[in-house]
């Protein structure tokens, strides 16, 4: 039996969908179409598209919109991936410039079909953005790259300001929710990033409402902090369809505040926690919060 979505959550989603009809959002859609680009906003059916497009934010999905794995929570296509598009780095860089984006988030489907997991192509996109708009900060949200340390270094050598990789859920749910992924491997990716490039903030995110317990959430937060993760996002799981993993519950807004306080008490430098928070939601603001924690100095929005 499908758990009904609470009315209060439907209202928030409805407001964001209405925002997709604004001239700014329509212009963003047009730019994506002209540059033949993918966004995780579309591929993952993100409920924040309207809000983010109106703020000039989007998370570009490079290396196509087809994934080699079959996570039961994800809406990204599982068809056979296409070869990397050699012109994609420059097209993404053009779109970032055209949108006047100050903080660019890039993500990728898992590409187990490529020897390096797609790291070289991903790094070229970051480098193309830096070459065209050197002032832009870039946050790559990567797959686990099958735990390949050299692939991770390839991405970090392109000089992002944040390296993000999502843990997605608590360890006991991995077998049911994350086919082909390993909890320990994801933690190791984040830990290795901090070891190789300590100046780069690390970031992860997870969903609630999949059937996890409070104790498991607390352990997850401790595991991420032990791996040196600086930034964390916590949001509600929304099943993309009836064929995906079912929603077990819809936590109330005050529960997200409690998890935020718990995370901050553990030493995270920035926390975004709320029903519709996603891993790239207001990523620039979270980065600025981390900079304040790390340096004690404010970074104005026009600098990011």
Q: What is the pTM of this model?
A: 0.85
CA distance 119 to 116: 6
**Paired tokens of 228:** 């040196």
- The set of residues, in sequence order, having a beta carbon less than 8 Å from that of 227 and lying 6+ positions away, is 187, 188, 190, 191, 194, 202
Per residue in 138-172, pLDDT tens?
Answer: 999 999 999 999 999 999 999 999 999 999 999 99
Q: What is the CATH number of domain 7-303?
A: 3.20.20.70
Q: Where are the domains of the chain?
A: 7-303
User: How would DSSP label each residue in 200-239?
Assistant: SEEEEEEEE-SS--HHHHHHHHHHHHHTT--EEEEEE---
Rg (Cα) of the chain, in Å, rounded?
Answer: 18
Distance of CA 253 to the CA centre of its chain: 21
Per residue in 52-70, pLDDT tens?
Answer: 554 555 688 899 888 898 7
Per residue in 75-108, pLDDT tens?
Answer: 778 888 999 999 999 999 998 898 888 899 999 9
Q: In what order do the strands lie in the sheet with 231-236?
A: 38-39, 59-61, 103-107, 137-141, 162-164, 201-208, 231-236, 270-273
pLDDT at 33: 56
């Amino acid at each position: 039996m499908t758990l009904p979505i609470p009315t209060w959550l439907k209202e928030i989603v409805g407001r964001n969908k209405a925002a997709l009809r604004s001239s700014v959002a329509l212009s963003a859609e047009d730019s994506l179409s002209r540059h033949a680009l993918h966004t995780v906003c579309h591929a993952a059916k993100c409920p924040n598209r309207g809000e983010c497009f109106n703020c000039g934010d989007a998370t570009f999905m490079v290396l196509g919109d087809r994934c080699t794995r079959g996570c039961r929570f994800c809406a990204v296509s599982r068809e056979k991936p296409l070869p990397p598009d050699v012109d994609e780095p420059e097209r993404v860089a053009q779109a970032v410039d055209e949108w006047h984006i100050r903080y660019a988030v890039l993500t990728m489907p898992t590409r187990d079909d490529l020897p390096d997991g797609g790291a070289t192509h991903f790094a070229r996109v970051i480098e193309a953005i830096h070459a065209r708009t050197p002032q832009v900060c870039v946050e790559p949200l990567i797959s686990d790259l099958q735990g390949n340390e050299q692939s991770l270094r390839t991405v970090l050598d392109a000089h992002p300001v944040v390296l993000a990789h999502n843990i997605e859920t608590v360890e006991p749910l991995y077998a049911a929710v994350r086919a082909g992924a390993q909890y320990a491997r994801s933690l190791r990716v984040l830990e290795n990033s901090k070891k190789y490039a300590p100046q780069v903030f690390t970031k992860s995110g997870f969903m609630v409402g999949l059937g996890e317990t409070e104790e498991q959430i607390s352990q997850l937060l401790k595991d991420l902090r032990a791996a040196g993760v600086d930034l964390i996002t916590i949001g509600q799981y929304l099943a993309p369809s009836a064929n995906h993993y079912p929603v077990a519950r819809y936590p109330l807004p005050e529960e997200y505040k409690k998890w935020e306080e718990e995370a901050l008490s553990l030493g995270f430098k920035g926390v975004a926690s709320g029903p519709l928070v996603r891993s790239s939601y207001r990523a620039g603001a979270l980065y600025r919060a981390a900079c304040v924690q790390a340096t004690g100095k404010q970074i104005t929005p026009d600098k990011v």
